């Protein structure tokens, strides 16, 4: 049997088209891994620089200040969701959903919903990372290798003779398909394994990813065999397989996403910003007692300290900042619940599309999908709430903050589930 397998491997390697297809797959694999590694390294470098700059800036602006309101206004804090060690393989939604924010003690909704304007065309195309290669392009390589293996022998009138001369009999062409798929798998897996080691990713995670690759590849081998085993010519088989690829890799995900987006509506981030800013800006023209009454519905513990004796007091200023957040909270909650519901629904759509299922599996391993973004947002909210509690004690008790007190300033750390 091993001799037969070795013969099939040598037979395949003598084909120029097979060698070039495997080499092309190897090149795409290396390129996609370099793209992902470069992007993650760039994000880590940017994060390191921003952290250092933010700490240095905060130390400069708070030096000599003792008023907690002034300190809270001047001090910025960097919140961030660092890429996972396996992030190089699946960049996921990190190029669409913000993974870092500089926040301070102002209304939070106006800070976490302000994002940089991206390129919508590039967002649609996506990045050629390893997850995209495995989920979308890999099936084309499998089709290119297998669409003609039966039809070629039939054209040469050798099909029956080849089957009779092999110990595998009629199963020879399935073995031939699996041998070719194994070589293709190695072309993807070898550079991937090196990338896992270089980036310090978990071996277990890498093995699971290779399992996703092998299962997805095996699925397409079976699809190819279901077409090529019939007595059809190579061109007909190729067109049939390409049609199946278009259906599973493009039509189902696109139509599924459009259907999910239509079925589950979510508010716009701009609506959240507008609502919050209307409340904050409108508070300047309202009697201060109106703002403080609304604030006490949230923080009744400060009921004995809400008196305002001056035209401007920091506690009133930060009170209407939080009131603005509370006004926008129902919309923002609906947004994140809608995002989670859409993501869960796309998980069901993925059951109809192996390409989408493979991509979501790798994105989950890389922690670069919607659930991880929602975890980051939750982490930012928890940090901002702690920041408010830290400053409110000084604002409402009319305290001054010393350098020693500022050492107790909450420090942001990423949430880990």
pLDDT of residue 1: 59
Residue 318 banded pLDDT, cuts 50, 70, 90: very high
402 Cβ neighbours under 8 A, 6+ residues apart:
66
Instruction: Give the span between the Cα atoms of 400 and 388, in whole angstroms.
Output: 16
Per-residue pLDDT for 123 more than 50? no
Per-residue pLDDT for 157 more than 80? no
Least confidently predicted of 229-238, 289-298, 369-378? 229-238
Token pair listed for 111: 């800070």
Instruction: Give the span between the Cα atoms of 366 and 129, in whole angstroms.
Output: 12
Residue 158 banded pLDDT, cuts 50, 70, 90: low
Sign of the four-CA dihedral 124, 129, 135, 140: positive
Residues of the chain with pLDDT > 90, as a percent, come to: 71
Full-prediction pTM beyond 0.75?
Answer: yes
Instruction: Give the span between the Cα atoms of 147 and 143, in whole angstroms.
Output: 5
* More confident: 322 or 170: 322
Per-residue pLDDT for 161 more than 60? no
- Short-list 330, 305, 337, 332, CA closest to 319: 305
Per-residue pLDDT for 337 more than 50? yes
Per-residue pLDDT for 119 more than 50? no
Instruction: Check: CB of residue 313 under 8 Å from CB of residue 295.
Output: no
- Short-list 240, 193, 245, CA closest to 216: 245
Instruction: Check: CB of residue 264 under 8 Å from CB of residue 342.
Output: yes
Greatest mean pLDDT range, 87-101, 103-117, 190-204, 222-236: 190-204
- Which H/E stretch holds residue 288? helix 288-296
């Amino acid at each position: 049997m091993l001799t037969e397998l070795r013969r099939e491997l040598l037979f395949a390697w003598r084909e120029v088209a097979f060698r070039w297809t495997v080499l092309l797959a190897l090149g795409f694999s290396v390129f996609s891994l370099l793209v992902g590694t470069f992007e993650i390294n760039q994000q880590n470098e940017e994060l390191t620089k921003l952290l250092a700059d933010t700490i240095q800036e905060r130390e400069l602006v708070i030096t000599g200040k003792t008023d907690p309101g002034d300190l809270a206004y001047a001090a910025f804090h960097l919140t961030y969701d660092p890429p996972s060690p396996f992030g190089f393989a699946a960049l996921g939604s990190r190029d669409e959903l913000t993974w870092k924010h500089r926040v301070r003690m102002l209304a939070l909704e106006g800070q976490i919903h302000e994002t940089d304007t991206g390129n919508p065309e590039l967002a649609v195309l996506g990045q050629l990372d390893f997850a995209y290669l495995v989920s979308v392009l890999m099936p084309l390589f499998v089709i290119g290798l297998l669409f003609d293996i039966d039809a070629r022998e039939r054209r040469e009138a050798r099909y029956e003779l080849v089957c009779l001369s092999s110990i595998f009999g009629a199963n020879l062409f399935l073995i031939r398909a699996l041998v070719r798929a194994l070589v293709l798998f190695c072309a993807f897996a070898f550079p991937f394994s090196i990338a896992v080691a270089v980036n310090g990713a978990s071996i277990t995670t890498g093995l699971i990813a290779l399992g996703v690759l092998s299962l997805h590849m095996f699925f397409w081998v079976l699809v190819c065999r279901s077409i090529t085993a019939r007595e059809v010519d190579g061109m007909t088989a190729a067109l049939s397989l390409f049609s199946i690829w278009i259906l599973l890799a493009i039509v189902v995900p696109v139509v599924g996403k459009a259907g999910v987006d239509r079925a589950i509506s979510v508010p716009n981030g701009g609506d959240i910003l507008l609502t919050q800013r209307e409340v904050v800006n409108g508070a300047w023209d309202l009697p201060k007692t109106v703002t403080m009454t609304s604030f006490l519905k949230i923080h009744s513990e400060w009921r004995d300290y809400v008196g305002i004796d001056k035209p401007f007091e920091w506690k009133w200023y930060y009170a209407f900042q939080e009131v603005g957040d509370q006004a926008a909270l129902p919309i923002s909650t609906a947004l994140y619940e809608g995002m989670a519901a859409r993501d869960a629904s796309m998980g069901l759509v993925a059951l109809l599309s192996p390409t989408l299922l493979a991509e979501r599996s790798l994105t989950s391993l890389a922690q670069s999908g919607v659930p991880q973004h929602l975890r980051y947002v939750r982490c930012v909210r928890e940090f901002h709430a702690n920041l408010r509690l830290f400053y409110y004690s000084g604002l409402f008790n009319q305290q001054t903050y010393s350098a020693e007190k500022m050492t107790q300033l909450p420090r942001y750390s990423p949430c880990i589930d």
